[in-house]
Amino acid sequence: MFSKEELKGIGDLCVKNNIIILSDEVYDRLYYTPFTRIATLSPEIEDLTITVGSAGKNFYCTGWRVGWLIGKPHLIKYAGAAHTRICFSSVSPLQEAVAIGLEQADKEGFWEQSKKDMKAKMERFNQVWDELGLSYTEPDGGYFVLVNLSKVKIPKEMMFPESVSGRARDFQLCWFLIKELGVAAIPPTEFYTPEHEKEAENYLRQVHLTFSHVHAVMRVQYTVSTNVQLL
């Protein structure tokens, strides 16, 4: 997560060059360190900013795909025009549920409790990596952890489909975890251009959203510690 100073530097650069800012703030209710909305830093930055929000992320129902954009009318009108031709409409009952949820969340103390619950799950989740001696990131918000699995040696006899064998090592690690341990992860090089894949090919993106995920990773802990060779 960018600091206030970093965001100000980015914002000022965008103002200087008249660049529109698309600010991904889908975890704006789930953060563990101080969080700054870039649009609040100056009127000039606000005029160039479209802020993206997500009920799916806020309420842990990512399948709902209900979100919003916040920005000045001169920017939002173009996003709205594009939306009618891409999505056309969302599911009305889910929009109604989100509206009620947002109204009730503050009254029920949902946001603060969510942060406490998720932070506790993340700490328990990361104990596994500490015990295995694997380095990982501690996120400033959200519910994903990047784990460095460069120490994990994939068996030479492991067979991969063509769609995996030709990709970076993190795809092969994901295949290995699914096939051998029954645990799914996300290969981060999917978000990289080919020339920069090496920077992330030993990492996997793990989610600590629910205790079922924590228990899955505990299976990784047991299996890796007993059956998988670490370099």
Render pLDDT for 54-95 as a digit per residue (tens, 0 to 9).
999 999 888 888 999 999 999 999 988 988 888 877 888 999
| Same domain membership, residue 221 and residue 126 | yes
Q: Are residues 82 and 187 in the same domain?
A: no
Same domain, 121 and 215: yes
Whole-number pLDDT of residue 213: 53
Q: Tell whether 218 and 142 lie within a shared domain.
A: yes
One domain, residues 71 and 119: no
The segment with the largest mean pLDDT, out of 10-24, 55-69, 83-97, 192-206, is 10-24
Domain boundary among 56, 87, 108: 108
CA distance 42 to 11: 9
Do residues 209 and 184 make contact, with C-beta atoms less than 8 angstroms apart?
no
Q: Given its phi and psi angles, is residue 72 left (phi above 0), alpha (psi -120 to 50 degrees) or beta?
A: beta
* Whether residues 205 and 140 fall in one domain: yes
When divided into structural domains, the chain yields a total of: 2
Residue type, 103: E
Helix (H) or strand (E) holding 206: strand 203-207
Same domain, 97 and 117: no
Q: What is the pLDDT of residues 115-161, one digit of tens each?
A: 999 888 888 888 888 988 899 998 898 888 999 999 988 888 999 99
What's the CATH number where 141 sits? 3.90.1150.10
Residue 202, judged by CB atoms within 10 A of its CB (0-12, 13-18, 19+), counts as buried
Shared domain for 42 and 127, answered yes or no, is no
Question: What span, in angstroms and rounded, lies between the C-alpha atoms of 182 and 26?
Answer: 29
Kindly state the tokens that stand for 55: 């009920």
pLDDT given for residue 115 in this prediction: 92
* 19-28, 38-47, 127-136: segment of lowest average pLDDT: 127-136
Which tokens hold the place of 115?
A: 């942060």
Of the candidates 36, 28, 38, 1, the one whose C-alpha atom is nearest the C-alpha of residue 138 is 1
The span from the CA of 186 to the CA of 147, in Å, is: 11
Kindly give, in sequence order, each residue whose CB lies less than 8 Å from that of residue 200, ignoring residues fewer than 6 positions away: 168, 170, 188, 189, 191, 192
Q: Which domain holds residue 212?
A: 111-227
Q: How far apart are alpha carbons 143 and 145 in whole angstroms?
A: 7
Residues 83 and 10 both lie in one domain: yes
Whether 150 and 193 map to the same domain: the answer is: yes
Can you give the CATH number for the domain in which 98 is found?
3.40.640.10
191-to-24, 54, 103, 137 alpha-carbon distances in Å: 15, 20, 35, 17
Residues 194 and 169 in one domain: yes
Reference 49, options 74, 86, 16; nearest CA is: 74
CA-wise closest residue to 172 among 207, 205, 132, 201: 201
